């Protein structure tokens, strides 16, 4: 349990999606992959950029999230970037958060960003931003933001068969110290260092300059083994036990959108009833990295089905590398 009693809550969230969409079947044809292979994923179409940049999507999401939170960009104290896909220039020498700071006019803010962890990177951002707001009296508002645009020709990720279809997106969440609802109660994140290269891009940095290998690559055997293990379950169990809760007391679980099979496996692993997975935008968004958890969070809030005091579990297995969960109290 957190030592600090200072409450930090989610006061706004938004996505910035490109206007264009493409059917998974069309993408499969374009990438010379069997349409049958993608039809079982549960992803009909994904948002795709037609010239928009990742930072433009992120900026749109950030502006919308701040507006929903009724917070002026000048009040933002820290911008936390949880993007996962390659950016306009090479990270970590360059970071989108600084560009956004400028474009938002968030002149008071400083920037932080995290790498790795796939869709669980947003949980790292949530956890660390909460910690900063809880422990530093000078900080009141954090903006979490990401912009992810797939590498051309690299939308369908494969192991033995298609694993997921990548969409393009920007996502943003606003955290506020002393918030009164959607409180970040606690977080538990675990990493398996041995899986650091299960989900990665082999070329494009010091190791390799072969353009053919400049694409997201998934190590099938190790990814499958990771998914078969109980790594995420261990993290969730620890989180719930620390907070005196059982999985049955979770009103809504928010999971990443990789595929139907992945959803089913995580539900089985965590012991979630289907009704607890109350928000999922898999079908018409595909996989948006960490922003999966933001679009599903928004789907949950749009349903207006939760009441004050309900617990929400936001969890991801981070492609076998980073497994984590954040507990929210509505």
Partner 1 sequence: MDTGIGILAASYYLPPNRKPVADIFRDEEIPQEKLAADVDFQRDIGIEAVHVSGEVSAASLAVEASRRAIAKAGMDANDIDLIFDFTSIPEEYVAPTWSAAGLVQNELGATRALATAVNTGGCASYHTTLRVACAMLAANDRYQTALLFAGDKVPELNHTYYPITVICDGGSAVILKKGYDKRRILSVEVATAGKLHDVWYIPGLHNRDANDSKGKWLHMTADVPKFNKEVIPINLFMFRKVMRDALARIGRKQHEISYYVYPTFSTWDQKAFCNAFMIPPEKIFTDGLQRHGHLQETDMVLDYVDAMDEGHIKDGDLVMLTTNGAGFSWGAALIQH
Q: Does 246 bind partner 1 (CB under 8 A)?
A: no
Q: Does 116 bind partner 1 (CB under 8 A)?
A: yes
Q: Site size for partner 1, by CB under 8 A?
A: 71
Q: Which of 39-47, 103-111, 153-161, 276-284 is the region at the interface with partner 1 (rule: CB under 8 A)?
A: 103-111
Q: Does 258 bind partner 1 (CB under 8 A)?
A: no
Q: Does 151 bind partner 1 (CB under 8 A)?
A: yes
Burial of residue 67 (number of CB atoms within 10 Å: 0-12, 13-18, 19+): middle
Q: Does 233 bind partner 1 (CB under 8 A)?
A: no
With CB under 8 A as the contact rule, the residue among 60, 76, 279, 322 that binds partner 1 is 322
Residue 151 carries which DSSP code? P
Q: b/e for 103-128, b at 16 or more Cβ within 10 A?
A: ebebeebebbbbebbbbbbbbbbbbb
Site for partner 1 in 1-20 (CB under 8 A): 1-4
Instruction: Give the number of other CB atoms < 10 A from CB of residue 185.
Output: 20
Q: How far is the CB of 102 from partner 1 (least distance, A)?
A: 3
CB 172 within 8 A of CB 13: yes
Burial of residue 51 (number of CB atoms within 10 Å: 0-12, 13-18, 19+): exposed
Q: How far is the CB of 116 from partner 1 (least distance, A)?
A: 4
Burial of residue 244 (number of CB atoms within 10 Å: 0-12, 13-18, 19+): exposed
Site for partner 1 in 83-102 (CB under 8 A): 83-87, 89-95, 97-102
Q: How far is the CB of 183 from partner 1 (least distance, A)?
A: 14
Q: How far is the CB of 242 from partner 1 (least distance, A)?
A: 8
Q: How far is the CB of 218 from partner 1 (least distance, A)?
A: 11
Q: How far is the CB of 329 from partner 1 (least distance, A)?
A: 17
73, 78, 79, 81: CA torsion to nearest 10: -170
Q: How far is the CB of 25 from partner 1 (least distance, A)?
A: 27
CB 124 within 8 A of CB 114: yes
Q: What is the CA radius of gyration of the chain?
A: 19
Q: Which of 21-29, 43-51, 56-64, 126-134 is the region at the interface with partner 1 (rule: CB under 8 A)?
A: 126-134
* Residues 175-204 as x/- pattern, contact with partner 1 by CB under 8 A: --------------xxxxxxxxx-xxxxxx
Site for partner 1 in 155-174 (CB under 8 A): none
Q: Which residues 6+ apart lie within 8 Å of 20 measured at CB? A: 47, 48, 49, 50
Q: How far is CA 118 from CA 96, 230, 256, in A?
A: 17, 18, 10
With CB under 8 A as the contact rule, the residue among 22, 169, 291, 321 that binds partner 1 is 321
């Amino acid at each position: 349990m957190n030592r600090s009693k200072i409450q930090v809550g989610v006061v706004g969230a938004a996505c910035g999606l490109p206007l264009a969409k493409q059917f998974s079947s069309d993408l499969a044809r374009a990438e010379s992959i069997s349409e049958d292979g993608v039809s079982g994923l549960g992803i009909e179409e994904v948002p795709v950029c037609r010239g928009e940049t990742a930072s433009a999507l992120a900026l749109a999401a950030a502006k919308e999230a701040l507006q929903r939170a009724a917070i002026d960009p000048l009040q933002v104290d820290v911008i936390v970037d949880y993007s996962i896909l390659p950016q306009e220039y090479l990270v970590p020498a360059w970071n989108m958060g600084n560009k956004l700071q400028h474009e938002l006019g968030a002149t008071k803010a400083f920037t932080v960003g995290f790498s790795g962890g796939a869709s669980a990177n947003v949980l790292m951002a949530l956890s660390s931003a909460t910690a900063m707001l809880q422990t530093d009296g000078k900080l009141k508002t954090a903006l979490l933001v990401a912009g992810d645009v797939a590498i051309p020709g690299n939308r369908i990720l494969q192991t033995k068969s298609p694993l997921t279809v990548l969409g393009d997106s920007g996502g943003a969440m606003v955290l506020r110290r002393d918030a009164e609802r959607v409180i970040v109660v606690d977080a538990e994140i675990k990493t398996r260092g041995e899986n650091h290269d299960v989900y990665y891009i082999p070329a494009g940095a010091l190791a390799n300059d072969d353009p053919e290998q400049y694409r997201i690559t998934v190590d099938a055997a190790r990814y499958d083994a990771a998914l078969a293990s109980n790594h995420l379950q261990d993290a969730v169990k620890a989180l719930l036990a620390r907070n005196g809760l059982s999985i049955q007391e979770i009103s809504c679980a928010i999971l990443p959108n990789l595929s139907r099979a992945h959803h089913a496996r995580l539900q089985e692993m965590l012991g979630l009833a289907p009704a607890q997975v109350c928000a999922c935008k898999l079908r018409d968004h595909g996989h948006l990295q960490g922003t999966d958890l933001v679009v599903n969070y928004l789907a949950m809030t749009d349903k207006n089905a939760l009441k004050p005091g309900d617990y929400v579990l936001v969890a991801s297995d981070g492609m076998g590398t980073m497994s984590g969960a954040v507990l929210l109290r509505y």
